[in-house]
Amino acid sequence: MRAQSLTRDRWKKMTVIDAAHTNLRFIVMILVVLVFVAFPGWAGESETTTLILVRHAEEDRLLGEIPLSDQGTRRARELAWVLSNVRLDAVFSTNTVRTKSTAGPIAEAKGLSVSFYDYIGMSDLIPFVDSLLRNYKGKTVLVVGHSDDVPTSVRILRKEYSAGKEVKPINKFVYDDLFIAFVPGSGKTTVLELKYGQPTAAK
């Protein structure tokens, strides 16, 4: 009897947690959709280019190619779910298992292939970002990168980056950052810093 009671209590707790997580996912998706629908001054103008930047999901560093962990695989699906109602014109990632696996579900859902970019030093990101703005003008692009190049790309978009200047990376325990940059044909770039999926915290 006591075992049955404990099982019921545990199930109730799990249900509450699952419901809260589902509600959070729904809120995040609605927020992202509202950003694209309710603010035509940012996302609706034909000259405004939108870049969505995320770090790859949680990885398993005990394995040679560093694939996603089970939690990371779930986060990749979360990303696809959050962006399910957002029009994407291209998806980019570095050529690593963990970034390709993060980008894969959303690219497949949108019928897109994943294009690759590479960098050695942070300054290599300047021509990459410039090429995105030039080749995808007025379009929306997802970029899946790493803890160092994602914040650097954001600084480049904000025109706050100086070659050779170190940019603070994303904390190695944080995987839920989602940046949306609206780059108009003229004027100031707007960058939103959001969260998605299961929350993570710096340690």
What would the pLDDT profile of 131-156 be if each residue is shown by its tens digit? 999 999 999 999 999 999 999 999 99
16 has pLDDT over 50 = no
Biggest CA–CA distance in the chain, Å, is 69
Calpha distance 160→156 (Å, rounded): 6
Q: Torsions phi, psi of 12, nearest 5? A: -60, -45
Model confidence at 166, pLDDT cuts 50, 70, 90, reads confident
DSSP code of residue 44: I
**Residues 54-113 pLDDT 10s:** 999 999 998 889 999 999 999 999 999 989 888 999 999 999 999 999 999 999 999 999
DSSP per-residue string spanning 133-172: HHHTTTSEEEEEE-TTHHHHHHHHHTT---TT---PPPPT
Ordered structural domains, the chain, with CATH: 2-195 (3.40.50.1240)
What's this model's pTM, rounded to 2 decimal places?
A: 0.82
Q: Which residue, 80, 62, 39, 73, is CA-closest to 178?
A: 80
**Residues 26-60 pLDDT 10s:** 555 556 655 654 554 555 556 889 999 999 999 99
- Position with higher pLDDT, 25 vs 95: 95
- Position with higher pLDDT, 20 vs 120: 120
Q: Which long-range contacts (CB under 8 A, 24 or more apart) does 158-162 make?
A: 158/189, 158/191, 159/189, 161/122, 161/126
Specify the pLDDT at position 47: 82
Question: What's the mean per-residue pLDDT of the chain?
Answer: 83
